[in-house]
Structures are given as C-alpha cells and as structure tokens.
Amino acid sequence: QEKLLQSGGGVVQPGRSLRLSCAASGFHFSSYTVHWLRQAPGKGLEWVAVISYDGDKKNLADSVKGRFTVSRDNAKNNLYLEMNSLRPEDTAVYYCTRDSITSSGYYEYWGQGTLVLVSS
Amino acid sequence: EIVMTQSPATLSVSPGERATLSCRASQSISSNLAWYQQKPGQAPRLLIFGASTRATDIPARFSGSGSGTEFTLTISSLQSEDFAVYYCQQYSDWPPITFGHGTRLDIK
C-alpha cells in the first residue's frame, strides 16, 4: 500500500529555517517524480517544488526560489524540503505528493500534511 | 503561467440532485486536467485525471468532461459524503502547476 508519511514542521520565527521530511513506502520511490505543495489557512492549493525520480532535475515556485531547496535520498526513500529565511506568508500546511508514473503532473498519493507556522 | 478559474465559488445542492462544477483555463491545456476533492482537515483526493478518467476507487457518479479551455465535473446524485471543496488543476504546461481557487459544495 502506497504511503507518504510526513514529519517536521511546527512554529518558527521569521527569518529562521525548518526542514520537512516525507518518507515513502509501499512503492518504488526511486521511479517517481515527487512534489511539494502547500495550502495557506483557508486558502487554495499552491505548487511549491518538484524533483525528478533521480534528483537531477528540480524546480521551485518563484515565491520560494532562492529560499527553499528540494532534495531526495532514494536509498532511504525520503523526500526533503529545506526552508530558509522563512516569512509569515510561508505559513501553510505543506503536502508531499507523488506524481504519476509518467511524471505527468497530477497526484494520486498525498502525505497527511504538516503545518508550518511562521510567527514571532 | 496558466491561470485556472473555477465557478461558482460556492454551490448549494440538495442530496440526490446533480451538481455541475466548471473550470476554465487561460489557454488551451488539451485534456491535461485533474479534479480533486478536499474535506476539512484532510489532504486532497484525486478524482479525475486526463479530464475524464476516474482515479482508482472513485465512484461512477463522478464524471469529468471537456478539453482545451473549458472543463466540467459532474456529480450525478449527491451523497452526504460529497459535500466538500473541489479543485481543478492543470498539468499541461509546468512548472508551475496551477490550481483553481476551488468550488465549495454545500448542502442545500
């Protein structure tokens, strides 16, 4: 059974850093492109980052470019989002998601979500 | 960036009735459109991909149609568990992947 289990998150002051993790199980993690999305309180969904199956290709939303880094460890079946210089507008529930087998860009599997609250 | 526009923002429908939700893309996305359902406190759930293909274990009362710039999600006979927020998403030209702002489906 395919699963994505997220950890990390919490309350952090503006300007500080945080790392989110996403542990995959039940499927061949190293074959899939994976993404991070986020959802601010009461708002819609925003795509944040993508990393290819082998980690060679990465892309970030303009709103986080230069501050966030996406990475993966296929040996450990883990996905990461390193968030630096956090701002109040980064406050959101963050989701890791698995792309389709063809890396089309839609998501059948989601993590449970983890809340990041940026506040002094 | 492709902008996705959903309408209406809120739709009130009685159980057992049909609900029709609309999504428009700012440029042609062929059939590269997905629909998701989200309930409070939960991650979104994929309903439809390829504009009209139901995802695994999605009931037949959910159907998607359209191509190009105009898309529709139809729920043929609303069940109590269907009242939620629905998002459309394009994956034709990315990054960035973009979502509509959602349609809230309320009980009338």
Please give, one letter per residue, the 3-state secondary structure of chain A. Answer: CCEEEEECCEEECCCCCEEEEEEEECCCHHHCCEEEEEECCCCCEEEEEEECCCCCCEEECCCCCCCEEEEEECCCCEEEEEECCCCHHHCEEEEEEEECCCCCCCEEEECCCEEEEECC
Is B95 in a helix, a strand, or coil? coil
Q: Which residues of chain B have pLDDT under 70?
A: none
B contact set with A (CB within 8 A): 32, 34, 36, 43-46, 49, 55-56, 87, 89, 91, 94-102
CB-based burial label for A8 (10 Å; 0-12, 13-18, 19+)? middle
CA A17 to CA B6: how far, in whole Å?
35
pLDDT of residue A110: 98
Which residues of chain A are within 8 Å of residue B89 when distances are taken between CB atoms?
A: 45, 106
When pLDDT is cut at 50, 70 and 90, the band that residue A21 belongs to is very high
Distance from C-alpha of B36 to C-alpha of B89, rounded to nearest angstrom: 8
Question: Mean pLDDT across the stretch A49-61?
Answer: 97
Q: Considering only the beta carbons, identify the residue of B44, B91, B94 that sits closest to A45.
A: B44
Judge: A107–B100 Cβ closer than 8 Å, yes or no.
no
pLDDT of residue A111: 98
* Structure tokens belonging to residue A13: 């002051």
- How many percent of chain A have pLDDT more than 70? 100
Task: Note the pLDDT of residue A42.
Answer: 95
Would you place residue A102 in the very low, low, confident or very high pLDDT band (cuts 50, 70, 90)? Answer: confident
Write the residue in B45, B87, B91 that is nearest to A45 by C-beta. B87
